[in-house]
Amino acid sequence: MPTRLGHMSVNALGPAETARYARQIRLTGFGPQAQSALLGAHVLVIGAGGLGAPVLTYLAAAGVGRISIVDPDTVELSNLHRQFIHSETRVGHRKVDSAKERLSELNSTLDIITHPVLLTSANALELIGPADIVIDGSDNFATRYLANDACEILKKPLVWGTILGFDGQVAVFDTRQGATLRDLYPTVPAPGSVPDCATAGVLGALCGSIGAAMSMETIKVLTGIGTPLYNSVAIHSSLDTSWETIPVRRLPDRETITDLGSHLGDYSDEVAAGHSGIPETDAAGGSNPTVTWPDIVRGTHLVDIRDDDEVLGGMVPGAQHVPMDALLDDPGQIAGHAKVALYCRSGVRSARTCARLRAQGIEVSSVSGGYLAYLSQPR
């Protein structure tokens, strides 16, 4: 049985491997060749959170030989209802380290590589290049389009999943097969136009459903079994337990992505590489300035607007904590400072809050990329 990724090495299984993976090897149409393909594969997973937790767990258990994890975030108590790869004892630890520890307990034979950084236009091609397939479990549009574009340039398959409310979507994008994310959603949504999990909420079981489907698509692509979700998107409604598959076709007038530098405005949440993106516009029609961590000048008063449960995993030293809703109700809490910069988890909420405060005549800026970008800086 040929694998989808024909360049991967396929070696004979040893006794220990045959015993460990016996139940899936026995499947008709799977067998030792498919198992060998998994063991020889290198998968890169973006995000060790709600979707990354089931994806990483299932792929490690299935025997994917090398797994790279990209995530700068730390474990928070509010993560644990859905991110079961982590535990209470690892609150405050880097997610990539927590995930590696758990995966090593599950399957010590694998090679787990950790990258505690944001995916940016400066590092995306380097990080994705060695992988056979990429899985996008991120939670923001900037990263999703960046991963998609990097995979198009490198001609790598991308397994994509997203959740919102009680629904989720799964697809496999591969420019060699046809459609990509830009064919499904040609226009990049503006930052903050779609709520994230921190503001909209999320059910852990839905993350499991979508993450499991993403894992299965990855296994199908790597081994050649079944029919992957190329040129289609599967939409899942958890409340009525339905799945619907919608065809997606390559847009005839869409230009091929050949250079990340030409699309930096689409990755405007990124910061780690020093790109501030395109300035937004505040509610009064003026400039809504953003600033990157390396560019913050001495004397700037930092305000962490994340919720109480989010800051339990850590804050920028010296920052004042004022949750977003509390700050909007009483902006006077940050009065008396000449320069004020707001930050949240990824820069979305801080940009929105900055715009509302500036519309009231309050001079503030937003730290692009938020706390994740801070964690991604070299130590």
The catalytic residue positions are 197, 344
CA pair distance 36, 64, nearest whole angstrom: 9
Confirm if 74 and 122 have CB atoms less than 8 A apart: no
- Residue tagged 């005549």 (tokens): 361
**Nearest Cα to Cα of residue 159 among 118, 81, 217, 220:** 217
Confirm if 218 and 160 have CB atoms less than 8 A apart: no
**Nearest Cα to Cα of residue 218 among 152, 174, 165:** 174
Cα 71–chain centre separation: 7
Collapse the DSSP code of 352 into the 3-class scheme (helix H, G, I; strand E, B; otherwise coil) and give the result.
helix
CA pair distance 160, 234, nearest whole angstrom: 11
CA pair distance 320, 275, nearest whole angstrom: 25
Cα 40–chain centre separation: 24
**Nearest Cα to Cα of residue 67 among 93, 92, 99:** 99
CA pair distance 69, 48, nearest whole angstrom: 7
Confirm if 211 and 55 have CB atoms less than 8 A apart: yes
